[in-house]
Structure 1
Amino acid sequence: MRILILCTENSCRSQMAHGFLKSFDPTLEVYSAGTKASGMLNPGAVEVMKEAGVDISGHTSDSVDKYIGQTWDYVITVCGGANESCPAFTGKVKHRLHIGFDDPSDAAGSPEFIHSEYIRVRDEIKARFHELYVTKLKDHE
């Protein structure tokens, strides 16, 4: 099963969703990309994922252009920006979903508050993508 997770910068939310899906089932072909890829991972996302036992430090931040024209079982957007500017895929996309999350990199305040926002969003992503995995992806080849 081939899954592409899209966000704007491909540095935070899409990377966390990518990491969690692979942790649920290493046999899934999971990729993530951005409509305006930053080219780097958000350090806060890497840190809170490591705290959750998932290492995403080896991921790359890639442009969606790399994946246009390919065949996908699921294309999932995780932020409003990507949902609004999601490109038309010229390949076959069986299912297109939008599961939106707040951007923790927009959080302002004390370092403790900002860290807590990364944790909150990480845990929301884990819960929503685990539900998706159990209801639609697991054993649904």
Structure 2
Amino acid sequence: MSLTDAQWARIEPLLPDRTPRRAGQWRDHRQVIDAIVFKYRTGTPWMELPERFGSWKGAHNRLRMWAVDGTWEKVFTALLAQADAEGDLDWVIPVDSAVVRAHQHAAGARQKGLRPASRTTMPSDGPAAD
């Protein structure tokens, strides 16, 4: 479940420099991306990532940091553009009306504004039931 060399060759130039702003050096980006891919393909909790991926905290923190700084958006945009230019994308998106529905509470949602006052209940003028 790791990236192929061809996949890595496409992604690597889009990633930030491996030298962090603080002292030290980051773990290899490829290992981190493999950990992230493994986590989402298998549904494994972060804390149960296999040891071959290194610290789960490092992978999780890099995932979050790249989401905040726009790295993931840049990578996905570039990969989509490459795939589209090569004719690898099929932009037909089927939509089935059976799965596109409003939530059950959407039909009866209260409208903005004041609620109408409830009518006062009056005793019936008819004869009493025996």
Per the normalisation by structure 1, the TM-score is 0.20
Q: What's the TM-score, normalizing by structure 2?
A: 0.22
Identify the structure with the greater strand proportion.
1
Structure of greater relative contact order (alpha carbons < 8 Å, 6+ residues apart): 1
